[in-house]
């Protein structure tokens, strides 16, 4: 049956794009709808660290998705580059955490989860990252942490989908609500008319809660604003990612350095602010003093899909046959996308799931 189905996916961020990519070979037709341009919201605005910022502070549900994704990202990047000629730049730099309050918990977590995280002498960090600032006394390091260049990941996924004959992408196509027949959701209402489908997938990021509200369901996914700044430096300026006091610096291969990010509950307002710019610059210079002389080439804001404990909703919506969720990834959409979208495809297609789906099931959580 799956081979003939038409699946409509609402939301063209990395979660929606990768969901479409994973389903395209298994179902008859995939239509991807986005209210603006593909990947222009949280997927575009984030830093792309392929790890939760503090992985030991999350529940096992987030950890399970993160581990699977971290191990899978390099091959996903290679596969997309080979298929499209657009390199998502999965760049393994390692990550230093500086002066953590909960360093002991982090090291205990790493031992328990068998992750390669260890304490390192601060002088060794200065040797490895000579541009790092002085005022730090302790560090832990994980060598295999990568970052993905998220705008290029979006571009690569879009190109891969456009090459598939059974995938239709409609940008600037906002979904206003769902079409129901009895207990079943059979399509969506859009600005350009009704679109029927066998299965409807809601992957609309920060907008998912509002859309599900049209069915009388309360999905606790809300927009959480984050602001970032971008510097341009020499390609070899910063060799590794560094993180202190909740702020991070991420090197891209070409010398761009991302510094982020804020956490603001401002509804759907994503206007960049001067106060955030000054705060991010101060963090940047504290982490890497030489950035005081570097040019800021970008400052922007995006809306994350905030959810309780950052645990996404992946699976069927009970009581609404044909309606599925893959949303609510909060700060870790890019990190968790490969595992979330593989798990989602397993569930929709009735395959053995890659990990236990129970913690993400919408039933009992909405």
Between CA 289 and CA 338, with CA 263 as vertex, the angle to 5 degrees is: 95
Angle between helices 333-349 and 60-84 (to 10 degrees): 90
Q: Which CATH class is domain 95-143+222-306?
A: alpha beta
- The residue among 178, 287, 177 whose CA lies nearest residue 229 is 287
Helix (H, G, I), strand (E, B) or coil at 83: helix
Each residue's pLDDT expressed in tens, for the chain with a length of 366 residues: 567 899 999 999 999 999 999 999 999 999 999 999 999 999 999 999 999 999 999 999 999 999 999 999 999 999 999 999 999 999 999 999 999 999 999 999 999 999 999 999 999 999 999 999 999 999 999 999 999 999 999 999 999 999 999 999 999 999 999 999 999 999 999 988 999 999 999 999 999 999 999 999 999 999 999 999 999 999 999 999 999 999 999 999 999 999 999 999 999 999 999 999 999 999 999 999 999 999 999 999 999 999 999 999 999 999 999 999 999 999 999 999 999 999 999 999 999 999 999 999 999 898
Predicted TM-score (pTM) of the model is 0.96
Domain ranges for the chain? 2-46+152-221+309-360, 95-143+222-306
Q: Where are the alpha helices (DSSP H) in the chain?
A: 14-24, 42-45, 60-84, 103-113, 122-128, 150-162, 208-213, 274-287, 333-349
Comparing CA positions, the residue from 24, 70, 55 lying closest to residue 243 is: 55
- CATH number among 3.10.310.10, 3.40.50.720, 3.50.50.60, 3.40.50.1100, domain 2-46+152-221+309-360: 3.50.50.60
- Identify which of 317, 331, 323 has the alpha carbon closest to the alpha carbon of residue 361: 317
């Amino acid at each position: 049956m799956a081979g003939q189905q038409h699946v409509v996916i609402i939301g063209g961020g990395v979660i929606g794009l990768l969901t479409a990519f994973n389903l395209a070979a298994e179902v008859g037709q995939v239509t991807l709808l986005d209210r603006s341009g593909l990947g222009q919201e949280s997927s575009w605005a984030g830093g792309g660290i392929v790890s939760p910022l503090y992985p030991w502070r999350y529940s096992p549900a987030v950890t399970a998705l993160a581990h699977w994704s971290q191990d899978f990202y390099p091959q996903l990047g290679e596969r997309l580059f080979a298929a499209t000629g657009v390199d998502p730049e999965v760049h393994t730099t390692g990550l230093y955490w500086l002066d953590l309050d909960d360093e002991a918990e982090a090291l205990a977590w790493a031992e328990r989860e068998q992750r390669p995280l260890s304490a390192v002498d601060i002088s060794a960090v200065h040797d490895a990252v000579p541009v790092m600032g002085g005022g730090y006394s302790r560090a832990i390091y994980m060598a295999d942490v990568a970052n993905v260049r998220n705008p290029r990941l979006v571009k690569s996924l879009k190109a891969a989908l456009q090459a598939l004959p059974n995938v239709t992408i409609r940008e600037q196509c906002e979904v206003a609500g769902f079409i129901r027949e009895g207990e079943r959701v059979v399509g969506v209402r859009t600005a350009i008319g009704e679109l029927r489908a066998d299965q409807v997938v809601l992957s609309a990021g920060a907008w998912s809660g509002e859309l599900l509200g049209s069915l009388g369901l309360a999905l606790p996914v809300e927009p959480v604003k984050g602001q970032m700044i971008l510097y341009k430096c020499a390609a070899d300026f910063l060799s590794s990612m560094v993180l202190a006091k909740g702020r991070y610096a991420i090197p891209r291969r070409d010398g761009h350095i991302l510094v982020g990010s804020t956490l603001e509950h401002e509804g759907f307002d994503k206007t960049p602010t001067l106060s955030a710019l000054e705060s991010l610059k101060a963090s940047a210079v504290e982490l890497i003093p030489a950035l005081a002389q570097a040019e800021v080439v970008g400052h922007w804001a995006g809306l994350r899909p905030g959810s309780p404990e950052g645990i996404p909703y992946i699976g069927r919506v009970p009581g609404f046959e044909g309606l599925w969720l893959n949303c609510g990834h909060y700060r870790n959409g890019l990190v968790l996308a490969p595992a979330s979208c593989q798990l989602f495809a397993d569930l929709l297609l009735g395959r053995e799931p890659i990990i236990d789906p129970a913690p993400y099931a919408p039933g009992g959580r909405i």
